[in-house]
Amino acid sequence: MTIREVDGTGTLAPARASDGATVLASPPTLSALTGGDLAAVPEDVLAQLRRARRVLTVCHHNPESDALGSALGVALAVEELGGVATPVCADPVPAMYGFLPGLDRFRQAPDPDGDYELIVVTDCGDLARVGPVLESHAELFSRLPIVNIDHHKSNPGFGTADWIDADAAATCEMVTLLVARLGLPLSAGNGVIAANLMAGLVIDTANFQHSNTSPRTLRVAAELRAAGAPLPDIARHLYRTKPSQQLRLFGLVLSRLETAAEGRLVWSTMFEHDLQVSGAHPGQSEGLIDLLGQSEHAEVTILFKQQGSGTRLSVRTRDGGVDATVVTGRFGGGGHARAAGASVDLPVEEARPLVLEEARRRLEQLRPS
């Protein structure tokens, strides 16, 4: 195994073998990333990944491409370093991501013969977000060291080693820096790493339109594109390709759009029977909240999703306005200032007025109607 370090200037230094011997190998060509970008990766995270030979990578249940891409990216990086890795997600990969390579690697549970040394949890604002895997394999999660890589500011830091960067647009942005910092080319894995990391960036920035798109985000995207990530295809599949069932679902939910506070508060509700009527599956509700958020005067946008006897909230807010995590935090949720979510153990009819009242209150504090 070879290891590349970042020197005092933040530049990738020559590789060295695990026994300390220098290896004459050229570091990956990185034309866009800066030394400061690479130096953002914590040393303890690097050390854990360099030592471990058998790694379990886990993302949150109900995944999107940032969760999937970050967990798969870390798994492939471990294998490029000579180890063995298993990417796990409690739920199956949504059909909308079927065009991405390598996602068939995901299992719904750890390999019983995995003999893991390390768990890497990606894109989870708290450990419970991994879903049923946590309960069914509680002994594994309590026994093994955990590396926690995440971009949610509400993350409490549950790992043996934590890397939480709320300024990152996506966890895939962070994993891109990690792969580069490990001295691996972003084109490794026959392009699978670059494609999936780019898909994570695209979904969490709404194709680089959200305000979380920073100069570093664009530098990371430039490196992934240079490494072969098919950005046009990814953007087309995620934002300009929808099956008829999904469009019918969107129509049902959009027809229920309601507003208050002179249009500054916008919401709608998705019921379970909407899936039956439209023929869509739950994963095809992806993108609905962002569509609602296009309402001209919306400052707080909320999508209520019926989930059995409970309710799932998705909240989006405008730049410089209400903090979405404050609204969802009132109900035990979290996320980002502009995009957050929560699960409420109440039926939609009971949860909705409580959440709307909280949103109205926050809007009133910000600027009277």
pLDDT tens, residue order, the chain (369 aa): 233 344 433 334 434 444 443 233 334 678 899 999 999 999 999 999 999 999 999 999 999 999 999 999 999 999 999 999 999 999 999 989 999 999 999 999 999 999 999 999 999 999 999 999 999 999 999 999 999 999 998 899 999 999 999 999 999 999 999 999 999 999 999 999 999 999 999 999 999 998 899 999 999 999 999 999 999 999 999 999 999 999 999 999 999 999 999 999 999 999 999 999 999 988 899 889 999 999 999 999 999 999 999 999 999 999 899 999 999 999 999 888 999 999 999 999 999 999 999 999 999 998 765
What is the secondary structure of 269-330 as a DSSP string? EE-HHHHHHHT--GGGGTTHHHHHTTSTT-SEEEEEEEETTEEEEEEEE-TTS--HHHHHHT
40 class by beta-carbon count within 10 Å (0-12 exposed, 13-18 middle, 19+ buried):
middle
pLDDT of residue 28: 62
Distances (CA, A) of 332 to 76, 131, 314: 34, 16, 13
State both tokens at 224.
């992934």
CA-to-CA dists, residue 52 to 18, 55, 60, 116, angstroms:
12, 7, 22, 9
- Cβ contact 69:31 at 8 Å: no
Residues of the chain with CATH 3.10.310.30: 244-366
Topology of the domain covering 244-366: Diaminopimelate Epimerase; Chain A, domain 1 (3.10.310)
CATH topology for 2-239 is inorganic pyrophosphatase (n-terminal core) (3.90.1640)
Q: Quick one: tokens of 351?
A: 């949860």
Cα gap 294→254, rounded to integer Å? 11
CATH 3.90.1640.10 domain residues, the chain: 2-239
